[in-house]
Amino acid sequence: MRILKLKKADLYRFLEVIYKEADIWAPQKKGDKFVFDRVDDFSKIELQTTRTIIPPKKIMVPPMFNMFDFNEAGYKEDFSHISKKILFGIHPCDIHGLLTLDKLFIQEYPDPYYMGAREKTLILGLSCWPDEHCFCKSTRTNIIEEGYDLFFTDLDEFFLVWIGSSQGDDLVKLAPDKFDENLSDKDIQAYIRWQNDKEKAFKTEIDFVTMPDLMELKYKAPFWQEAGDACLACGSCSMVCPTCNCYNVADKTFLGGKPGKRIRTWDSCTLPEYSEVAGGENFREDKSDRLKLWYTHKLQAYVSKYGKPSCVGCGRCIATCPVGINVKTIARALEGEEVDAFWKKMSREVTK
Amino acid sequence: MNAEHKSLERKNPFTPEPARIVRTYPLTDDVKFFQVRLVDMDKALLFKYRPGQFAMISVLGTGEAPFCISSTPSRPGLLEFCIRKAGTVTGALFKLKENSLIGLRGPYGNGFPVDDMKNKDIIIVLGGLVVAPLRSVLLYCLDNRDQFGKVSVLYGAKRPAEMIFREEYFSLKERGDLECHLTVDQDDTGTWKENIGVVTTLFPRLKKVDPDATYSLVCGPPVMYKFVIKELLKLNIPKNQILMTLERRMKCGVGKCGHCAIDYIYTCLDGPVFTYWDVLHMRELI
Ligand code: SF4
Ligand code: SF4
Ligand code: FES
């Protein structure tokens, strides 16, 4: 592993150089929130951000894209949404989010759309600082060992830059004079101090070790019904979650000379028609059944398959769900705590 | 950065293969038979599958849906499907004439464990209109008759007109190398000579059953499972030798779209064939 030092002021110069290689996407401000967007103006790049509204999965699998053009002659793949990109400013949790999606999309039948975008995207990670919703320490996704080409740790006056791949190394070689191989003891001390302080900065903790068992033992607990009653079935939790992968497919028919299209769009298991089969039978008409599927997937299924939860602790569901159904409140409810969440109040109103 | 073109050349698992409807005719009021062949002859002959597996069929311009293959791999070249009219894709399929072009990809899913079933006795229990996957395994057993022990078929339909492949089953009754018992809930024709009653009333007719050496395969409407399984358990057939196929919504067939998720598995990869033991220890299965 090579670790280099980059002066703060040299970051934009470095980005300018690599901008010639590909479009750069980075967190930028939108209202009081942040979004991953294409960079037109380097000064708009935000270095100290909390989570973006939508995770960078949108770059690997756009919310809506065409898989095939077709007509009477057959199906033609459409990869036109895939282009070379450099993602700068992606946090460890979101890199873990991509590693989690990799498992699903690349195993057994590799998804060429996902893989195409993944291979054309360089990942330039950036360190971050937890806010009240972050709990990546609990999911052990606060530390990143793979899945990036370069990783920048922001130590105020300078960055420590980890080189994680030969492509990352190629980028550094485009501006070799900006990077310093010699780290002083003081630099190393600064990093260790930062690391220790960050460990202590987390305000939310969740014990994921007990979750698979609790999902099983509390599968019939009454709080599921309460949460189900309050859930708006809006699907927002799935849109913002970096590890939600579900999608829907619909055909647009061809007319005249225009080809038909097979459109793939993000979907959510919280939506009513998610489990409906042809003929109208729905296996999960009840919202609580759909929430159970969501949480089985996050807290239990992945653990049994891959030894860790598919939640990466980004806190987006906490920041997003309008009625307060999220990994934290559900975990607390599973642990038997009386949670003070909006859905609890709602369900009380409903039953009054 | 040199890996970038590779993925675009990789085989796209979502690409439907062009196929033609060779033959199609109605089996009942809302079930139709389709015989399909991949346009590429080499691919048609190389299409290897196991009884119980399914394929995704595309109707150009309407969409794609999963269907169990009801032909047997022991008769390669043509694929057969018994399709019940249920949604938009099946609606469009029903309108297609012979020689129409469709898209097909697969086969997907686990299918029946035909290798484990070798040399065992087989009891096939069918109910109603959902019998497609078991036709595949039945024909497979018959084509490889010497590889299996006793084969028995119990089929219950609502009315004689709703007994799919009625003629096929009548001719099975003529064969000396298997037992075939048929029943209808009610006879509205006045000409039905077989049993009348639900499918479970056929169980006493089964000749001596050696439960440990028996695999039982069940397929039918959800309400039927409970009663049939009860009978099979009475015969002491082990829970993991009772097999059934389950239907779920499927959008990809290859473990990506999430739609077929049950508990922590994907039906399209780990199913659609499950054992009764799976049903007991997995939530939501039936
Ligand atoms: S479940 Fe919530 S906290 Fe966990 S990864 Fe998804 S959005 Fe982030
Ligand atoms: S849990 Fe919350 S975000 Fe998810 S669908 Fe229900 S209301 Fe919407
Ligand atoms: S059908 Fe898409 S995951 Fe099973």
**Which tens digit of pLDDT belongs to each residue from B229-275?**
999 999 999 999 999 988 778 899 999 999 898 877 899 999 899 99
CATH topology of domain B114-244: Rossmann fold (3.40.50)
The pLDDT of A292-321, averaged and rounded, is: 90
Instruction: List % helix, strand, coil for chain A (3-state, nearest 5).
Output: 40, 20, 40
**Cβ within 8 Å, pair A296-B263:** yes
Contact A129, A48 (CB under 8 A): yes
Nearest CA in chain A to B7: A116
Question: What distance in angstroms lies between residue B259's CA and the mean position of ligand 3's atoms?
Answer: 5
Ligand 2 nearest-atom number relative to CA A230: 7
Q: Does the pLDDT value for residue B120 go beyond 90?
A: yes
DSSP 8-class letter at B160: G
Amino acid at site A108: E
**C-alpha to C-alpha distances, A172 to A103, A161, B282, nearest whole angstrom:** 29, 10, 51
**pLDDT by residue (tens digit) across B168-178?**
888 888 888 99
- Tokens in use for B95? 């309108």
Question: What distance in angstroms lies between residue A268's CA and the mean position of ligand 2's atoms?
Answer: 10
User: Which residues, other chains included, contact B266 with Cβ-Cβ below 8 Å and sequence gap of 6+?
Assistant: B255, B258, B260
CATH topology of domain B3-108: Elongation Factor Tu (Ef-tu); domain 3 (2.40.30)
Task: Tell me whether A256 touches chain B (CB under 8 Å).
Answer: no
For B120-208, list the strands marked E by DSSP.
121-127, 151-157, 179-184, 195-196
Task: Give percent above pLDDT 70 in chain A.
Answer: 95
Contacts of A253 in chain B (CB under 8 A): 61-62
The pLDDT of B84-92, averaged and rounded, is: 90
The pLDDT of A41-66, averaged and rounded, is: 93
Q: Out of A57-71, A274-288, B15-29, which region has the weakest mean confidence (pLDDT)?
A: A274-288
Q: What is the pLDDT of residue A215?
A: 92
Amino acid at site A250: A
Report the distance separating Cα A103 and Cα A100, nearest Å.
5
Q: What is the pLDDT of residue A21?
A: 85
Which of the pair, B130 or A21, is modelled with greater confidence?
A21
Pocket flag, ligand 2, residue A240 (CB < 6 Å): no
**Cβ within 8 Å, pair A248-B257:** yes
Least Cα distance to B124 among B52, B222, B184 occurs for B52
Instruction: Name beta bridge partners: A98.
Output: none
Nearest CA in chain A to B63: A251
Contacts of A166 in chain B (CB under 8 A): none
Local confidence band at A177 (pLDDT 50, 70, 90 cut-offs): very high
Helix, strand, or coil (residue B184)? strand
Task: Give percent above pLDDT 70 in chain B.
Answer: 95
Query: What backbone phi and psi angles, to 5 degrees, belong to A139?
Result: -90, 0
DSSP code per residue over B191-238: ---SEES-GGGGGGGS----GGGEEEEEES-HHHHHHHHHHHHHTT--
Nearest CA in chain A to B222: A281
DSSP 8-class letter at A291: H
Question: What distance in angstroms lies between residue A224's CA and the mean position of ligand 2's atoms?
Answer: 13
Report the distance separating Cα B168 and Cα B152, nearest Å.
14
Q: Does the pLDDT value for residue B160 go beyond 50?
A: yes
Q: What is the pLDDT of residue A77?
A: 94
A21-36 residues labelled b (16+ CB within 10 A) or e (exposed): bbebbbbbeeeeebbb
Q: What is the mean pLDDT of chain B?
A: 89
Phi-psi region of A182 (alpha: psi -120 to 50; beta: other; left: phi over 0): beta
Contacts of B257 in chain A (CB under 8 A): 246-249, 267
**pLDDT by residue (tens digit) across B190-209?**
888 888 999 999 999 988 88
Contacts of A219 in chain B (CB under 8 A): 283
Q: What is the pLDDT of residue B101?
A: 93
- Tokens in use for A85? 């990109």
The pLDDT of B219-224, averaged and rounded, is: 85
Q: What is the pLDDT of residue B55?
A: 96
Q: What is the pLDDT of residue B6?
A: 46
Q: What is the pLDDT of residue B1?
A: 36
Q: What is the pLDDT of residue B286?
A: 61
Phi-psi region of A219 (alpha: psi -120 to 50; beta: other; left: phi over 0): alpha
Local confidence band at A282 (pLDDT 50, 70, 90 cut-offs): low
Alpha carbon nearest to ligand 1 atom 1, residue: A311
Report the distance separating Cα B276 and Cα B244, nearest Å.
7
DSSP 8-class letter at A8: G
Please give, rounded to a whole number of angstroms, the shortest distance from the CA of B133 to a CA of chain A.
17
Contact A320, A236 (CB under 8 A): yes
Q: Map tokens 């990799």 to a residue.
A: A102
Q: What is the pLDDT of residue B10?
A: 59
Task: Tell me whether A245 touches chain B (CB under 8 Å).
Answer: yes
Q: Does the pLDDT value for residue A348 go beyond 80?
A: no
Q: What is the pLDDT of residue B226?
A: 87
Task: Tell me whether A265 touches chain B (CB under 8 Å).
Answer: no
Instruction: Name beta bridge partners: B23.
Output: B35
Contact B97, B25 (CB under 8 A): no
Q: Out of A79, A108, A109, name the one closest to residue B8 (CB).
A: A79
Q: What is the pLDDT of residue B96?
A: 95
Least Cα distance to A167 among A121, A208, A211, A132 occurs for A121
**Cβ within 8 Å, pair B16-A296:** no
Q: What is the pLDDT of residue A278?
A: 61
Helix, strand, or coil (residue A5)? strand
The pLDDT of B58-85, averaged and rounded, is: 92
Amino acid at site B227: F
Query: Which sign, positive or negative, has the C-alpha torsion A139, A140, A143, A144?
Result: negative
- Tokens in use for B108? 């997907």
Q: What is the pLDDT of residue B4?
A: 43
Contacts of B61 in chain A (CB under 8 A): 70, 251-254, 260
**Cβ within 8 Å, pair B12-A77:** yes
Q: What is the pLDDT of residue A347?
A: 64
Of the residues B263, B266, B282, B285, the best mutation for testing chain A's interface (the one with the most A CB atoms within 10 Å of its CB) is B263
Which of the pair, A286 or A205, is modelled with greater confidence?
A205
Pocket flag, ligand 2, residue A63 (CB < 6 Å): no
Q: What is the pLDDT of residue B173?
A: 85
**pLDDT by residue (tens digit) across A180-197?**
999 999 999 999 999 999
The pLDDT of B115-136, averaged and rounded, is: 90
Q: Does the pLDDT value for residue A350 go beyond 60?
A: no
Pocket flag, ligand 2, residue A233 (CB < 6 Å): yes
Report the distance separating Cα B113 and Cα B117, nearest Å.
6
Helix H or strand E segment including A122:
strand A121-126
The pLDDT of B215-240, averaged and rounded, is: 91
Q: What is the mean pLDDT of chain A?
A: 91
Q: What is the pLDDT of residue A300?
A: 87
Task: Give percent above pLDDT 90 in chain A.
Answer: 74
Contact A177, A13 (CB under 8 A): no
Helices A287-296 and A327-334: angle between axes, nearest 10 degrees: 90
**pLDDT by residue (tens digit) across A193-230?**
999 999 999 999 999 999 999 999 999 999 999 999 98
Least Cα distance to B126 among B157, B99, B103 occurs for B157
DSSP 8-class letter at B42: H
Domain ranges of chain B: 3-108, 114-244
R_g of chain B computed on alpha carbons? 19
Q: Does the pLDDT value for residue A281 go beyond 70?
A: no
Query: What backbone phi and psi angles, to 5 degrees, belong to A337?
Result: -80, 150
